[in-house]
Amino acid sequence: MTRFALTIEYDGRPFMGWQRQAHGPSVQQTIEEAVTRITGEDALVYASGRTDAGVHARAMPAHVDVMRDIAPFRLMEALNAQLRPSPVAVIACRTVPEDWHARFSCLGRHYEYRIVNRRAPLTWDKGLAWQVARPLDADAMAAGAARLVGRHDFTTFRSVHCQADSPVRTLDRLEIERIGEVVTIRASARSFLHHQVRSMVGCLSLVGDGRWSPDDMSAALDARDRAALGLNAPPDGLFFVSADYPADSTPAD
* Range in 130-139, 220-229, 242-251 with the lowest mean pLDDT: 242-251
* Range in 29-38, 128-137, 159-168 with the lowest mean pLDDT: 159-168
Fold for the domain defined by 108-241: Alpha-Beta Plaits (3.30.70)
Binning pLDDT at 50, 70 and 90, where does residue 246 land? Answer: very high
- In angstroms, the CA 174 to CA 190 distance is 13
The structure's pTM equals: 0.93
In tens, the pLDDT along 91-115 reads 999 999 999 999 999 999 999 999 9
Q: Give the length of the chain.
A: 253
Q: Which residues of 75-107 are buried (b: 16+ CB within 10 A; e: fewer)?
A: bbebbeebbeebbbebebbbebeeebbbeebbe
| Mean pLDDT within 166-172 | 97
Average pLDDT, the chain: 95
- In angstroms, the CA 168 to CA 150 distance is 10
Residue 126 has pLDDT above 80, yes or no: yes
Residue 252 has pLDDT above 90, yes or no: no
Domain boundaries defined on the chain: 2-105, 108-241
Phi, psi (degrees; rounded to nearest 5) at 124: -65, -35
Pick the more confident residue, 249 or 204: 204
In tens, the pLDDT along 196-225 reads 999 999 999 999 999 999 999 999 999 999
Active-site entry in 52, 165, 172, 209: 52
pLDDT for the residue 22: 81
* Range in 145-154, 213-222, 224-233, 239-248 with the lowest mean pLDDT: 239-248
Residue 225 annotated among the catalytic residues of the structure: no
Closest of 89, 88, 25, 28 to residue 64, by C-alpha: 28
Type of residue numbered 8:
I
Residue 248 has pLDDT above 70, yes or no: no
| Mean pLDDT within 8-34 | 94
- The CATH class, in words, for 2-105 is alpha beta
Pick the more confident residue, 112 or 250: 112
In tens, the pLDDT along 53-74 reads 999 999 999 999 999 999 999 9
Binning pLDDT at 50, 70 and 90, where does residue 48 land? Answer: very high
DSSP 121: P
